Chains A and B, each alone.
Chain A
């Protein structure tokens, strides 16, 4: 198995798989949070522009 980027050495294959799964989950969460924030700022800007 090739070394896992950012993963500490000495992990068993199961630990590496769990490490990757947790990291992937966190990365997706940050991605969707940022995406949501971009959308939110867009809609806030539109709402404020159309208010008056």
Chain B
């Protein structure tokens, strides 16, 4: 595929492999929903729902979580439709249902749009329309701001685009309270500032894929040395930011202690990335072992941090 086809955007690429035979299996349609990404989205949404003051009927709470999961999956399906040209040239994504020719691009788009509309309507009917509006905003942000606008244009794509992944705890909170308050924004900010070190750690050892696809990820555009510096700067912002729930009285000292310890480990992990043995141009001499470890730890960090927030509220009643 030519560079011009990639730079002009996925929507101008052909609508996938056209065939009369439907080659798709159920697991291909599930794969369109990016289930691995969904787990973190669902978990942070659930924590937002659990820590919010007030009560939501368990059936409605479960429906809200289902809506968050389906909306995240729907946005992922639309993202796969738009990015089918770059997915085809990236080793990591070439086996996805659209580039592999098992699902037609137009079918994936219809699937994504239908699920987006259904999840927003269901959220509004089951909980409230503030939560539904924030859910719709998160889908729109991921599809229009991140996928269609930023991803192919700026190395800061995941900094601003990362906001899309930060919405779920805010949606969970809004589902219970019917509003977006300071506490919801704090949870949003934690995920927002966690995203750059998390994704840039991944892009440090997967930049070959992004380079082939013409995606201007930071290591491709500014080099690995600058990427490590930015990872470190965002980590320095995240560690104290994660203490905010205790500072504003949203969580107690148990959460604060957990955030402090986790923040220490997070900084240590990212410091190893910054100090990785490298050549004059910043290329890792260790096959990016610290970045791989930091990427894995960053996922654990967010899971445990949000689990601590929920435990603090549920166990200690902060």
Contacts and interface: CB of A to CB of B under 8 A. Distances in A.
A binds B: yes
20 contacts: A7-B21, A8-B20, A19-B21, A22-B23, A25-B25, A26-B24, A29-B26, A40-B63, A40-B66, A43-B59, A44-B60, A44-B63, A44-B126, A46-B59, A47-B59, A47-B60, A48-B57, A48-B126, A50-B57, A51-B57
Interface string B60-75: 1001001000000000
Interface residues of A, number: 17
Contacts, number: 38
Nearest to B126: A44
Nearest to B63: A44
Interface of B: 20-26, 29, 57, 59-60, 63, 66, 122, 125-126
Interface of A: 7-8, 19, 22-23, 25-26, 28-29, 40, 43-44, 46-48, 50-51
B29 A47 contact: no
Contacts of A46: 59
List the 8 closest pairs (A to B, CB-CB), nearest first.
A47-B59, A47-B57, A29-B26, A43-B59, A25-B26, A8-B20, A44-B126, A47-B60
Contacts of A25: 25-26
A29 B29 contact: yes
